[in-house]
């Protein structure tokens, strides 16, 4: 297994993923791989669990996220935890990506609480946009604004990819 993205555990600066919004961090994959999960360095100090989902977006001219490649279902982040932890958000089926630049994204649910995240400051490495949680993670990013929030968020992958996975070939031998 290998990773790409920001896997630093430094406390750095903190911010939040607010209800009905999503954030993304630019990350470069140097080889073809099957991505199994995204991991976010975060905590939830609220009284209720917060559900988050993740997605991987294509890169528009090295400037901002564009189209959704794959997304996950919701994963709860335990309530009342003031301790930073890696929260894994797993894809139901691994996602095959070719080498290139992508945007790793997380989206928070609509409970009105906020998920605390940590980040480093790197020019044009992050993006934020409103996105209603109840209708799923958006198939396109929906904007072109970037920021310097390099969120502690990374993807885990198996190098080499796998071509077609889960493909069943049935041969008709009746003729």
Domain ranges of the chain: 2-159
pTM of the predicted protein model: 0.86
For residues 38 and 23, give the distance between their C-alpha atoms in angstroms, rounded to a whole number.
13
Q: Which has more confidence, 76 or 168?
A: 76
Over range 147-167, report the average pLDDT: 77
Instruction: Give the per-residue SS3 of 9-37.
Output: CCCCEEEEEECCEEEEEEEEECCCEEEEE
pLDDT in tens, 106-151: 998 866 567 788 888 888 899 999 998 888 899 999 887 888 888 8
> How distant, in Å, are the alpha carbons of 60, 106, 131, 155 from that of 12?
28, 19, 26, 20
What CATH class has 2-159? mainly beta
- The answer to whether 6 and 155 are in contact (CB under 8 A) is no
pLDDT for residue 155 is more than 70 = yes
Q: Where are the beta strands (DSSP E) in the chain?
A: 2-5, 13-18, 21-29, 33-44, 50-60, 64-71, 75-77, 81-97, 100-108, 114-130, 147-151, 153-159
Looking at residue 174, what is its pLDDT? 43
The residue with tokens 């990374």 is: 154
Distance CA 158, CA 83 (A): 29
Question: Tell me: the pLDDT tens digits for 59-107?
Answer: 998 789 999 999 988 777 767 667 788 889 999 999 999 999 999 999 9
Residue predicted with more confidence, 112 or 153: 153
Query: How many other β-carbons are positioned within 10 Å of the β-carbon of residue 147?
Result: 16
Judge contact between 151 and 119, C-beta under 8 A.
yes
């Amino acid at each position: 297994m290998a990773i790409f993205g920001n896997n630093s555990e430094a406390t750095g600066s903190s911010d939040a993923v607010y209800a009905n919004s999503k954030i993304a961090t630019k990350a470069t994959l140097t080889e073809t791989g099957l991505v199994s999960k995204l991991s976010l360095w975060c905590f939830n100090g609220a009284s209720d669990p917060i559900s988050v989902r993740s997605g991987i977006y294509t890169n528009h001219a090295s400037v901002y996220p564009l189209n959704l490649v794959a997304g996950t279902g919701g994963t709860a982040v335990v309530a009342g935890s003031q301790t930073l932890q890696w929260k894994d958000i797993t894809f139901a089926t691994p996602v095959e990506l070719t080498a290139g630049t992508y945007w790793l994204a997380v989206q928070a649910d609509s409970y009105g609480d906020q998920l605390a995240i940590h980040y480093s400051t790197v020019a044009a490495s992050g993006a934020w946009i409103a996105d209603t949680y109840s209708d799923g993670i958006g198939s396109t990013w929906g904007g072109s604004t970037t920021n310097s929030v390099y969120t502690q968020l990374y993807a885990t992958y198996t190098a080499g990819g796998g071509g077609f996975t889960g493909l069943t070939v049935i041969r008709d031998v009746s003729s």
